[in-house]
Structure 1
Amino acid sequence: MNTNNEFARKIAQAMSALPQLIAEEAKEYSRTRFSEKSFDGRSWPALSPKYKPKKGTMLVRSGKLQGSVRVSRVTPKKVVIAAGNSKVPYAQVHNEGFTGSVVVKAHTRKLKRQGKKKKRTVEVKSHTRKMNIPQRQFMGNCPELERKLKTVSEQLFKSILK
């Protein structure tokens, strides 16, 4: 067999495998941000003591946000990683941060039990609330991810060209 044809076939094989490999690596990088609590080597801002979770850790109580990070689209020229869904509408707010006012819809609140009294419920009227949620980025382009993708890509080509 012609070595030029064999070489071209191996390069084509690597090129077709590369987008999916990059997608999986980028997804995994984004998911590990939750355990490392950092992005591109910079730690996330600490939680205020008022908001320390009783269970779980920063941004991980149920694991829904971390679990929502997924490969959304893979083409030969583009890879898209997404997060959030109808059960996790707050993904973008945590990834980008948010400062502003939000409307809190009217709802019923259960009050804690006091002594032997039964739990009470109260009606809360619709109102606005000022919010300041610092950015705790877990996905996006960054030099650290680019280095990882470069390393993985080089390993792929080295393994195919052996």
Structure 2
Amino acid sequence: MSVKFKGDFFEKLQRIDNKFFLSKMTSEAGVIAVKFSKDRFRQKNWVDTSQEKWAPRKRKRAGSILVKSSRLKRSIRKISEGKYYVLIGTDVPYAQIHNEGGTIKASARVRAHSRTRKGRNQPIKVKAHTRKMNAKIPKRQFLGESAVLALRLENHMYDKVTDEIYKK
């Protein structure tokens, strides 16, 4: 995602002498982006040019959507940071399918076993077999490009650059 700056932003940025200012700005931009992404879990929507609510669960359960152990939400962080960029993301394996949506096609192996049912004397023998599963996961985006996030970053950086110039 690229942020488009208005007016004399780059002229003001060149007037700043501080060596650590750029690294501080990229670090702050990463924090804002991580907070924005975690806010999606609280508000249960994706905000770009318009709000896109997450699809509700099929089964009614207590708790928030996409939050059971909170592993996915906690895993969102700054992955890498450079002088002019910040990359945020997650290392949870199921994050991509939840963020983009899609179908999971898998087959589970069931081993041969015996089962005893209540009220019966003889155990029932279950043969080994495979069970095919197709799970459709709806798109519930929490990471990606957003016009609202770009505007927040632009305003934050513009304010910080202006404050740094007129601080002296």
Q: Does 1:103 align with 2:111?
A: no
Task: Describe the superposition over 1:53-91 as per-residue Cα deviations: whole angstroms up to 9, x where unpaired.
Answer: 2x3211112111100111100011321111133xxx211
Task: State whether structure 2 residue 50 is matched by structure 1 residue 43.
Answer: no
Looking at structure 1, the residues matched to 157 and 60 of structure 2 have their Cα atoms a distance apart, in angstroms, of 40
Cα deviation, residue 135, structure 1: 0.4
Structure with more of its chain in helix, by fraction: 1
CA drift of 1:132 comes to 0.9
Unpaired runs of 5+ residues, structure 1, are 1-6, 109-113, 115-121
CA shift in 2, pair 1:125/1:79, >3 Å: farther
Q: 1:81 aligns with which of 64, 75, 88?
A: 88
Cα RMSD for the two superposed structures: 2.7
Assess, with a 3 A threshold, how the Cα gap between structure 1 residues 18 and 124 changes in structure 2: closer, same or farther: farther
Match of 1:9 in 2: 17
Alignment of 1:19-30 (within 5 A): 19-30=26-37
In 2 relative to 1, CA 151–130 (structure 1 residues): closer, same or farther, beyond 3 Å? same
1:31 aligns with 2:38: yes
Q: Describe the shift of the 1:70–1:132 C-alpha distance in structure 2 as closer, same or farther (beyond 3 A).
A: same
Mean Cα displacement is larger for which, 24-33 or 123-132?
Answer: 123-132
Structure of higher CA gyration radius: 2
- Flag the 1:154–1:8 CA change in 2: closer, same or farther, 3 A: closer
Structure 2 stretches of 5 or more lacking a match? 1-14, 113-117, 119-125
Preserved CA contact (<8 Å) 1:84 1:92? no
In 2, the alpha carbon distance for the partners of 1:92 and 1:153 equals 29
The secondary structure found in structure 1 opposite 2:78 is strand
Question: Cα deviation per residue 1:100-146 (whole Å; 9 max; x = unaligned)?
Answer: 412334479xxxxx8xxxxxxx8984322111111000011111111
The offset of 1:15, in angstroms, is 2.2
Q: Does 1:69 align with 2:102?
A: no
Q: Contact 2:23 / 2:82 at 8 angstroms: preserved in 1?
A: no
Matching residue within 47, 56, 60 for 1:52? 60
Partner of 1:142: 146
Q: Confirm or deny: 8 A CA contact 1:56 1:62 kept in the other structure.
A: no
- In the aligned structure 2, how far is the partner of 1:123 from the partner of 1:150? 62
Q: How many residue pairs align between the two structures?
A: 140
